[in-house]
Structure 1
Amino acid sequence: GTFTVRLLQTSIFQNTTLVETEGLGLLEDIELGSLDKHTWAIHFCQPWVRPALPRSDWDTIQNMIKIYLQQFNHLINEGAMQKDVPYPFVAQCVAGCTIFPNRTSHAFAYVGYNGQDFLSFNMDNYTWLPSQDTDLSRYVRDVLHNYTAFTELVEVLFNDTCVDDMEVLLHYGMAALERQELPVATVFARTLSPAQLLLICHVTGFYPRPISVAWLRDGQEVPPGPALNTSAILPNADLTYQLRSVLAVAPRDGHSYACRVRHRSLGTRSLLVPWGDSELVLIAGLAAGLLAAVAVAAVTA
């Protein structure tokens, strides 16, 4: 499959001498480690991460991160003073690499300023590109191009080190990446007015993140429209996900409704939760009308 390692950085520049930095490393959506905001030391979030690489490799990565952050803070402060940027302000970075099924790879790096896209790094010709054409972005771009040591560090850290180390991390972390948790779906209703009823399908506890949730009216999928509203997929505290899908209907309209859930953990089957019936039903993916099981136990078995 396709896998991505991302390093997230948020630096709050309170003034020219005080910078508060937080960092997080992710393999897909799995937290690998975080940075201590005071010492910039790596704290490992998964038990398999530290053994994945030799101690000397982690020491090298740790030193590269510290050098990068020192240079980053210096360059950003220099630009802020030259262009009279008011303090405090926030700089955010996301960088990493993606490995594709054919084993080719792509590295990336983006910089944000006060919540807006600011710069991106072109890994093909090792140049910085402004995301918005402003005097400040052009100035910072020129400073970075003139400071070749920083650009070379970014190139090595995210184009070489990232790809090499991700191969090893994938080997150690594959069990975590392939983890599957079954979705739990509940359907309930809320009355907005005598003329409108909201049917709510709440789906939670599933992993991995990709999922398909749809409403069926008399067995037919309800198409997108103003009556249908599905939330974003949100994280739970136990490293699973949740979302809800809301369908506005008229009370007692004579139709039957059900929430259908498709997820990798269900295989070729679907989870069907009818409105007005607490049963959970698994239906075969190739024969949607054929009931494969009726009991809740069939879903969790």
Structure 2
Amino acid sequence: MALLPLLVLLGAAASPGGYANPAPHALRNFFWVVSEPGPGLPEFIAVGYVDGQLTVHYDSETRSAEPRVAWAERNLDAQYWDGQTQVAQGWEALFQANLDTLRGRYNQSGGFHTLQVKYGCELRDDGTIGGFEQYAYDGGDFLSFDTKTHTWVAAAREAEITQHRWNEDKAYLQQETAYLEQECIEWLQKYLTYGKETLQRREPPRVQVSDRPSRDGLTTLSCWVHGFYPRSVAVMWLRKGVAVPQETNRGDVLPSGDGTYQTRATIEIDRSRETDYTCCVEHPSLAEDLRVPWAPKSNVMLIVGVVIGVLVLVAAIAGAVVFLRKKNSGYKAAAAHEGSASSGSDQGSNTCVKA
């Protein structure tokens, strides 16, 4: 298969005890064709991501592969982009024909239908590599390449014809394996060099823990992890320091719009039984896992209430002391004034009353 960087499918769920995306670096390609194009939806679209960063875009309306990131435009010449355009145009014609074939297999004469493929490769933390290629029809699994057996596997009965035909072509199987395990990896390494400043940077995650009432008197704890790069991350709730993966609900890892990623993990608890919960985050930028404990609101409010109560009490006592001092001073001054008046002196009257 010729190289065409396309769309990375984001949002894989985190696996218990591991990163949501175990590969720190990945080249993921995606393109699709639709039976009924419309405004804003070309008949054929091809886009590509390296480590979640958009690098190229092609569609049947522009008919041109265009760079979408500065480092790709700066390091790849016009010959490269012309080649990518030719490859995309070839895939466009092939996919349009394949979509018509599949509509016939599914006995569909009209309506909105899609044919999609995702393929690419990744460099993992342990130094190993991996490749993948998957086809989908109308959003359902159709056909995939097994990189262990180097054969195609059908996920639907309608895909068995294609499966047998492609598996019988030994030259094609060798070409597919060579691309996923060699050529794709070589290009991924080139891209990582071209975009080193952004693709190989490390930004540690920021973590915020909160809670809210849930059903039946339970409480939902939420751990929002954001501002991190690269995308690889693992988020887990701990109870008394022990991971509870079966009870942790992990959300997708999504782009934040500023070049970083975010995700969220929640857990539903009975706060009347246990309150010792901690959000644990693992990320390549961290030397060790980051742990942020949950502080029950009731305890926090109690502490705040006690502090406020003490401050109010101190203020009241201080106010009372000042009041009593002023009152005593005023009484003594009044008594002295009355004593002066009874002695017949004019000094007090001349000072306070003016003609």
TM-score, normalised on structure 2? 0.61
Distance 1:231 1:179, change over 3 A: same
Counterpart Cα distance in 2 of 1:102 and 1:215: 25
Residues 1:264 and 2:287 are matched in the alignment: no
Which of 229, 249, 253 aligns to 1:229? It is 249
Between the two proteins, the alignment pairs up a number of residues equal to 271
Residues 1:183 and 2:178 are matched in the alignment: no
Counterpart Cα distance in 2 of 1:159 and 1:193: 49
CA contact (8 A) 2:241 2:277 kept: no
Residues 1:115 and 2:127 are matched in the alignment: no
CA contact (8 A) 1:68 1:150 kept: no
Secondary structure of the structure 1 residue equivalent to 2:116: strand
| Deviation of 1:203 (Å) | 1.9
Letter of the 1:117 partner, please give it. Answer: D
1:96 maps to which residue?
Answer: 120
Aligned counterparts, 1:93-172, within 5 A: 93-98=117-122, 107-121=131-145, 129-132=153-156, 134=157, 136-141=158-163, 162-172=184-194
Q: Which moved more, 1:141-150 or 1:115-124?
A: 141-150
| Deviation of 1:61 (Å) | 2.3
Aligned counterparts, 1:265-284, within 5 A: 265-268=285-288, 270-276=290-296
Letter of the 1:175 partner, please give it. Answer: E
Distance 1:197 1:140, change over 3 A: closer
1:291 maps to which residue?
Answer: none
Counterpart Cα distance in 2 of 1:248 and 1:161: 46
Counterpart Cα distance in 1 of 2:142 and 2:70: 36
2:84 maps to which residue?
Answer: 61
CA contact (8 A) 2:33 2:99 kept: no
Secondary structure of the structure 1 residue equivalent to 2:214: strand
List gaps (5 residues or longer) in structure 2.
1-22, 298-355
Distance 1:211 1:27, change over 3 A: same
| Deviation of 1:31 (Å) | 1.6
1:281 maps to which residue?
Answer: none
Letter of the 2:34 partner, please give it. Answer: I
Counterpart Cα distance in 2 of 1:103 and 1:259: 29
Q: Name the structure where helix makes up a greater proportion of residues.
A: 2
Secondary structure of the structure 2 residue equivalent to 1:182: coil
Counterpart Cα distance in 2 of 1:106 and 1:42: 26
2:45 maps to which residue?
Answer: 22
Distance 1:270 1:155, change over 3 A: closer
| Deviation of 1:123 (Å) | 7.6
Which of 24, 27, 35 aligns to 1:13? It is 35
Q: Name the structure where strand makes up a greater proportion of residues.
A: 1
List gaps (5 residues or longer) in structure 1.
278-301
1:298 maps to which residue?
Answer: none
Identity %: 23
CA contact (8 A) 2:33 2:116 kept: yes
Counterpart Cα distance in 1 of 2:105 and 2:271: 64
| Deviation of 1:150 (Å) | 9.5
Distance 1:149 1:20, change over 3 A: farther
Distance 1:5 1:201, change over 3 A: closer
CA contact (8 A) 1:52 1:169 kept: no
Distance 1:107 1:264, change over 3 A: closer
2:265 maps to which residue?
Answer: 245
Higher relative contact order, structure no. (Cα contacts within 8 Å, ≥ 6 residues apart): 2
Residues 1:202 and 2:224 are matched in the alignment: yes
Letter of the 2:205 partner, please give it. Answer: P
Counterpart Cα distance in 2 of 1:254 and 1:154: 53
Counterpart Cα distance in 2 of 1:193 and 1:121: 44
| Deviation of 1:50 (Å) | 2.2
TM-score, normalised on structure 1? 0.70
Counterpart Cα distance in 2 of 1:222 and 1:149: 48
Counterpart Cα distance in 2 of 1:60 and 1:263: 37
Secondary structure of the structure 1 residue equivalent to 2:258: coil
Q: Which has the larger radius of gyration?
A: 2
Secondary structure of the structure 1 residue equivalent to 2:257: coil
